Amino acid sequence: MSSIVSSFREGAVQPPATYKDPREERWEDQTAFFARDPLSTNQQTAWDSPGQAAFDFRSDYVTSPNIAMLASIIKTSLLDDVMKEDPTTNSFQEFIAQLTGHEDSLLVMSGTMGNQVALRTALLAPPYSILADSRSHIIGMEAGGPSTLCGALMQGVAPSNGHHLTLEDVKRHVTLREDVYDCPTRIISLENTLSGTIMPLEDVRAISNWARSQDPPIHMHLDGARLWEAVAAGAGTLKEYATCFDSAQLCFTKGLGAPIGSIVIGNKAFIKRARWMRKLLGGGIRAAGIVCAPARVAVEQIFLGGRLRANQETAKRLSKLWVSLGGKLQHPTETNMIWLDLEAAGIDKEHFADMAENAGVKTMRGRLQGRLIIHYQICDRALEALANLFAEILKGKRDYLQK
């Protein structure tokens, strides 16, 4: 078992020397504390401790803000963003707009709010429909928002290649006619990454160019909550992807580790109208600097600082270990997300989660069981525990087959 862990650790990619999370210096001192009860609800989860996130593979949204993010709140401006008076917020929105190649941006409280604000802003006069990948968050993970808030018909499309939507998929399912019997497609909404897999820039551009050539043009929206991961993997730059869309939502709380917030990008006219939609959904923010200050630190330190790439290499090494032991994957590991095929491994999904918990780490329960997400706050002890768990599960399978 120890040789498996050793071989796994040999390929570890070290994060860039240009960034050091101040809390990391104290993690080693807390080894004994975590060893007592890694899942204790009494763990410290802020300021000088990695908290439960260090042992939590359920998602990258379990990350907690680091010292620099929290310290930025103390120094931030505290003026009103509804009145557009807060300098920290205004500066941050300009920063994101420039980073993505768009004219303007708008702070929102969550990725779901960002998507719904953007969709509601783009949809002006019914009837209308939204075409999206059938697996996308806006269809299955946002409480029916497009139907409830926009009155839109959702057109879920399963990608013919099993990986991502192509222009051929879009053309096959889009509604262009404006006959009285039809509900025309007014928005094409793509998601990148989706289930941790990357939509190639070439396909995004093909769909975008075609959609914008229609009469009237079809609005292109991106759920880019994890677009940072696609860019970190080298699939394209942030501007190359973002400028293919008329609107996009980017999240700061997942792999970037900010405490709260997402942002919507678009042109000046779009963002002006989006402010109304944000207010409609209760998203008007007064002392918005306390959200924007740590979000900016997250973008600069974690994304621009190169921290995401190391997480992806760790995910790929874990996937390689699982496969080398005889396991199978549901989806390829292209970024920081691993999809274990637990059925092929002959293990009940709930039992897997129980075994993981007994090993001192948390994994997802429910319909996302078998999904593991690597984030920058996962510690070495958690990775070793997971590697040992892989060996235990797949050794049991081999022993059973050899009987």
Q: Which of the four pLDDT bands, split at 50, 70 and 90, describes residue 235?
A: very high
Helix-, strand-, coil-residue percentages of the chain, each rounded to 5: 45, 15, 40
Tokens of 77: 């401006």
Q: What are the pLDDT digits (tens) for 311-336?
A: 999 999 999 999 999 999 999 999 99
What dotted CATH number matches 2-64+308-402?
3.90.1150.10
Q: State the average pLDDT over residues 160-169.
A: 98
Distance of CA 153 to the CA centre of its chain: 25
* pLDDT value at residue 52: 78
* Cis preceding-peptide flag for 216 (omega within 30 of 0): yes
Structural contact between residues 223 and 153, judged by C-beta atoms closer than 8 angstroms: no
Tokens of 142: 């946002």
Regarding predicted confidence, which is higher, 313 or 40? 313
* pLDDT value at residue 36: 40
Sequence-ordered alpha helix ranges (H) in 325-377 = 349-358
Q: State the average pLDDT over residues 86-114.
A: 98
CA separation (Å) from 279 to 57, 114, 169, 264, 295? Answer: 35, 12, 35, 14, 21
* Pairwise CA distance, residues 225 & 28, whole Å: 32
Q: State the average pLDDT over residues 15-34.
A: 46
Which H or E run contains 87? helix 87-100
Q: Collapsing DSSP states into helix, strand and coil, what is residue 25?
A: helix
Per the prediction, the chain carries an average pLDDT of 90
Provide the percentage of residues in the chain whose pLDDT is more than 70.
86
* Pairwise CA distance, residues 312 & 374, whole Å: 7
Distance of CA 350 to the CA centre of its chain: 24
What are phi and psi for residue 384, nearest 5 degrees? -65, -40
Q: Taking the CB of residue 71, how many other CB atoms lie within 10 A of it? A: 16
How many Å is the Cα radius of gyration of the chain? Answer: 22
Q: Collapsing DSSP states into helix, strand and coil, what is residue 29?
A: helix
Instruction: Tell me: pLDDT of 33 over 80.
Output: no
* Pairwise CA distance, residues 140 & 142, whole Å: 6
Specify burial of residue 203 (Cβ count, 10 A radius: 0-12, 13-18, 19+): buried
Instruction: Tell me: pLDDT of 9 over 90.
Output: no
Specify burial of residue 145 (Cβ count, 10 A radius: 0-12, 13-18, 19+): buried
Q: Which of the four pLDDT bands, split at 50, 70 and 90, describes residue 366?
A: confident
Q: Which amino acid, 238?
A: L
Number of H helices, E strands in the chain: 17, 10
Q: Which of the four pLDDT bands, split at 50, 70 and 90, describes residue 29?
A: very low
User: What residue segments make up the domains of the chain, in order of their start?
Assistant: 2-64+308-402, 76-303
- Closest to 142 (Cα-Cα) out of 22, 243, 311, 262: 262
Q: Taking the CB of residue 6, how many other CB atoms lie within 10 A of it? A: 11
What are phi and psi for residue 185, nearest 5 degrees? -75, 115
Tokens of 353: 């989660």
Structural contact between residues 350 and 344, judged by C-beta atoms closer than 8 angstroms: no
What dotted CATH number matches 76-303?
3.40.640.10
Q: State the average pLDDT over residues 15-37.
A: 45
Structural contact between residues 334 and 235, judged by C-beta atoms closer than 8 angstroms: no
Q: Which of the four pLDDT bands, split at 50, 70 and 90, describes residue 40?
A: very low
Instruction: Tell me: pLDDT of 294 over 60.
Output: yes
Which H or E run contains 153? strand 153-157
